[in-house]
Chains A and B, each alone.
Chain A
Amino acid sequence: MGLLSYLLSIPLLGVVVIQFLSKTAVRSHRVLASIFTFIAFVFSLYLYFPFQASQGLQFKENISWFHFGSTDGFFYSLGIDGLSLPLLVLTTLVSFIASMASIYVKERTKTYFSLFLLLEFGMMGVFLASNLFLFFLFFEVTLVTMFFLIGIWGYSQKEKAAYHFLIYNGIGSAFLLIGIVGIYVIYGSVDYEVLKQAIAVSPSSGVIWTLLTFLLIAFAIKLPIFPFHRWMLLVHVEAPPSIVMIHAGILLKMGAYGILRFGVGMFPNYMEYISTVLAVLGLINLLYGAILAFAQQELKSVLAYSSISHMGIVLLGIAAVNQVGLQGAVFQSISHGLLSALFFFLVGALYQRTKSTQLEDFGGLAKSMPIFSGILMVASLGLLGLPGLSGFISEFFSLLGLFEKHPIYAAVGTLGLILAAVYTLRALMSVTFGGQQKAFKARDMDWKEWLPMFVLVLLIIGIGIYPELISNTLNGALNTIASGWRG
């Protein structure tokens, strides 16, 4: 048992402890979950100190698990590098804040927080795993727990959303599993580092292309890339806001992480070969999401389509196949994770007070709810990419990288940024400014709500003005990945 295993066991411990509480102790369920997610957050921050940016996978744990066939078998192996560490911290942070945002969940809280902690366990495992098999196991844990969290605590169409989520992602998992089994049968291992070297020296072949395609389809569903996005719209709209914080904030990033880790990390030359395809897909996502976000009449739908649009930028960054682009992709993942967590916290707070998320119902909230409107303003500015906030720096890096490789696509991509400003401001204006449409008994947010939001705001600003916060650890890892192309 090493550090990472301890980290993984924190939420599990939380699940166990929560079973001892009485069913009716709603508040203590939440407090307990917040405590455990907070401990996990602090623990993950602590990892920064012994972490060495110049090295690859660190804090390695490798325990033989079981044998099948003539190979070394399967290992319980964890490890973390500059790519996964920021995402891990994002996970623990968003989980912590989402647990505090769960004040709006009033029913069956014991089950809710048990599943919530289990979900955090799965998400952390995804980023900590250092072989494909383990990655897949944790990936599936998030699938099952999310199904319950959407289906039990969601809004009116929760069941439809839960099933869409399950089936789409189930198909994604099936593709992923085919890819993993294929890789295992061919290379006799599922370990990241072993595979990376094995693939680098093996000649290009149709089989490898097929396997890579399967992996990419799996992550394309998760990200999601354009034709596979229907499920995530439903989840955005129908799941409870605290769960959408996690869904938009972290689960979508698992798709991005997958493409970075397995696509770019293990098949660098193949990815370079298809970079144009990725760029086109990224542009489609970017523009399609932006245009449709403009047409939405409901706040959550606006945000859902804007998520699609922003994931397009991640793809564009990856399509750049250079270090700057990758940096942009990771920055965008983290920035969008923080922003969407903030947004859906706000949406939860708003819905709690007004029982509505239709844009036409709102207006003039700036007067009655100044704190809410202020934070919403910051979030919106971050989303549209105002310099000085995290959104700008991510989009800048992505497009800068892409410009080196595909200047025309990059030029079209900047169009997306203008559209982002249009739809974000439209939504923001109709909520906070103008005349009041309906008389809500508008009570502004209390400290339990604005304090965690404030933390997010600080981070968004922090990354915006001091990107080294992330890039210091990140660059070592990206350098290793990008060296695949130079070599």
Chain B
Amino acid sequence: MNEMIMQLSPEWILLVGIALVLVGEILLNKDSSRFVLGFISILTVIASGLFVLLQDREVINLFSGSFISDTTIRSIKILLIVGTLLVLILSFAEKVSAKGEYYLLLLAALLGAMTLVSSSELISLFVSLELLSLSSYVLVGMQRDRMISSEAAWKYVVYGGASSAFLLYGMSFFYGLTGTTKLVGMSDSLSIAYHNEHGLLLYLGLVLLFIGIGFKIAAVPFHMWAPDVYQGAPTTVTAFLAVVSKIAGFVFALRLLSGLFPSDGLKPIVHMVVVPALLVIAMLSMIVGNVVALKQSNLKRLLAYSSIGHAGYMLVAVISLLLSKEKEAFFSLYYYFVAYLLASAGAFAILQVIAKERSPDQKMLSGLYKRSPWLAFCLTVFLLSLAGIPFTAGFIGKFTILISAFGNSLFWLAGTMLLTTVISYYYYFRLIRQMYWQDDDKVSLDKIHWSTGIVIAITLIGTFLFGIMPSFVLQSLSAWIA
């Protein structure tokens, strides 16, 4: 029992934090500041991260294989924690009506993401995913006084609910075919079922699964919710969705796909169905995301479409990973997560400063160079990183993904990736142009809240550091995961 408490420590610490915030919210005066709660949340998340690090290389297997944790999983957890931490710090400057519940839900969403990453069983996977999703739905609608926020929340609930239904239905097919919900060993039973003429049911389950996963990671053609939700949600929540939720979604997809199909008997399905389907989704995501982003003038919508494009790039790494199972493919995916996390969090932090209460239009960037040169410089760096320009983390991420893709002979995919990257130059540089050579008419100085300043500084340093010294991440990863 004692051992189990230790092994689950990162998760239950979050639970304790949630309880503390809940109690604090009840005790605190209605009008008083919720700063304390934010502080508690941050401490909780940091403590949780420390316990993840303390577990070191231990391989944990609880509840007869439905909860596992090893170095790979822990490395992802660290990423989720860092992402949430950045969002929490940003939250000090965010104006939402129920700040206490806001912190509570963020912690709950993180808890969902953490258990999601560790789950190795269909039901706990689904429950974790729902914990993450349900918390996110409410977070999106937190600004009740803004129509657009409520609308976004509604859309998110409807789309998200539908996709969960698809997922659950798809999972039920797999349960029906194998008689188990545990991913370990499921593949072999699945293989037997496949060879016993139950292929049709398998395909049906697979299609449903793909639809559900596609929604969760906002890949084309299941992306329609993303721009509206990104636009409507409070900026910090958008950052959370774009970073933490997205990474969790990818890990979920990876866990399911690599858990269901490692059996040799299923090789034909992987090569004939799963990979080609992912290939199409990845290509569509890259093309549609980046092309539609060209037309956007609302910054949040633009970043939403660009994040759809980035989902496509990440899918390239996922495909390489499914094909080769090499460590390198995972490293490239991980590196891309890191680069994307830093650049996105930084960009959203700056959006929060510029836009304040309003909807952030591209025009707001005009003349930013004159008003606050540092802010303009930082946003430029983040955009360059998202565009994949050398000496930023984004370039190394793309470069490593390309190497993995080439190693697996995914030439068309790599070609599409590069082509869409060039397309993306156009809109990223358009924003930079807006900052540096458009004069603005009404000059209002942007005040930077100290918390935003911290986030921008961290992400800026990270973007440069990991762009110039990739070995920090790559070497420590290979040392840890080896």
Q: Do A and B bind each other?
A: yes
Please give the residue numbers on chain A whose beta carbons come within 8 Å of chain B beta carbons, in ascending order: 65-69, 111, 136-137, 140-141, 144, 147-148, 151-152, 159, 162-163, 166-167, 170-171, 173-174, 177-178, 181-182, 184-185
Interchain CB contact under 8 A, A69 and B328: yes
Question: Is B419 part of the binding interface, using a Cβ–Cβ cutoff of 8 Å?
Answer: yes
Does the CB pair B406–A144 fall under 8 Å? no
Other-chain contact of A140, B389, B407, B478 (Cβ < 8 Å): B389
| Chain B hits for A66, CB < 8 A | 469-471, 474-475
Chain B, interface residues (CB within 8 Å), range: 20 to 34
Give A70's nearest chain B residue, CB to CB.
B328
Flag the segment in B56-64, B211-219, B425-433 that touches A.
B425-433
Partner of A166, one of B390, B425, B469: B425
Instruction: Tell whether, in the assembled complex, residue B426 and residue A181 are in contact, meaning their CB atoms are under 8 Å apart.
Output: no
Inter-chain CB contacts under 8 Å: number: 78
Closest to A175 in B: B418
Give me the interface of B with A, judged by CB distance under 8 Å.
328, 331-332, 384, 389-391, 395, 399-400, 402-403, 406-407, 414-415, 418-419, 421-422, 425-426, 429, 433, 436-437, 469-471, 474-475, 478
Q: Are A148 and B436 within 8 A (Cβ)?
A: yes
Measured CA separation A69–B421 after assembly (Å):
24
Cα of A147 to Cα of B422 in the assembled complex, Å: 14
Taking each of A111, A166, A185, which has the highest tally of chain B beta carbons within 10 Å of its own beta carbon? A185
Complex: A182 Cα to B402 Cα, angstroms? 9
Q: How far is the CB of B97 from chain A (nearest CB, A)?
A: 42
Contact status A67-B422, CB under 8 Å: no
Across the interface, A151 reaches (CB within 8 A) one of B331, B433, B474, namely B433
The answer to whether A69 touches B425 (Cβ under 8 A) is: no
A136 to B396, CA, bound (A): 12
Report the separation of the CA atoms of residues A159 and B400 in the bound assembly, to the nearest whole angstrom: 33
12 intermolecular pairs with C-beta atoms under 8 Å apart:
A66-B471, A68-B328, A68-B332, A140-B395, A174-B421, A174-B422, A177-B399, A181-B402, A182-B406, A184-B403, A184-B406, A185-B403
Minimum CB–CB distance from B407 to chain A (whole Å) comes to 5
Which residues on A sit within 8 Å (CB–CB) of B470? 65-66, 68
CA distance A321 to B426 in the complex (A): 39
Nearest-CB distance from B334 to chain A (Å)?
12
Q: How far is the CB of A106 from chain B (nearest CB, A)?
A: 15
> How far is the CB of A366 from the nearest CB of chain B, in Å?
38
Contact of B406 among A152, A162, A185 (CB under 8 A): A185
Complex Cα–Cα for A163 and B432 (A): 12
**Complex Cα spacing A147 to B432, Å:** 11
Task: Please give, as numbers and ranges, the residues of chain B lying within 8 Å of A159 by CB-CB distance.
Answer: 433, 437
List of A residues within 8 angstroms of B390 by Cβ: 136-137, 140-141
Write the nearest CB–CB distance from A195 to chain B, whole angstroms.
Answer: 16
Residues of A contacting B421 in the complex (Cβ-Cβ under 8 angstroms):
170, 174
Flag if B384 contacts A144 (CB, 8 Å): yes
Known A137-B390, A144-B384, A152-B436; contact A69-B422, beta-carbon cutoff 8 A: no
CA of A136 to CA of B398 in the docked complex: distance in angstroms? 14
Q: Complex: how many Å from CA A167 to CA B425?
A: 8
Across the A-B interface, the 5 shortest Cβ-Cβ residue pairs? A174-B418, A66-B471, A170-B422, A137-B390, A66-B470
User: In the bound complex, how far is the Cα of B467 from the Cα of A66, in angstroms?
Assistant: 11
Residue from B384, B403, B437, B469 within 8 A of A69 (CB atoms)? B403
A67-B475, A147-B429, A151-B437 given; A185·B407 CB < 8 A: yes
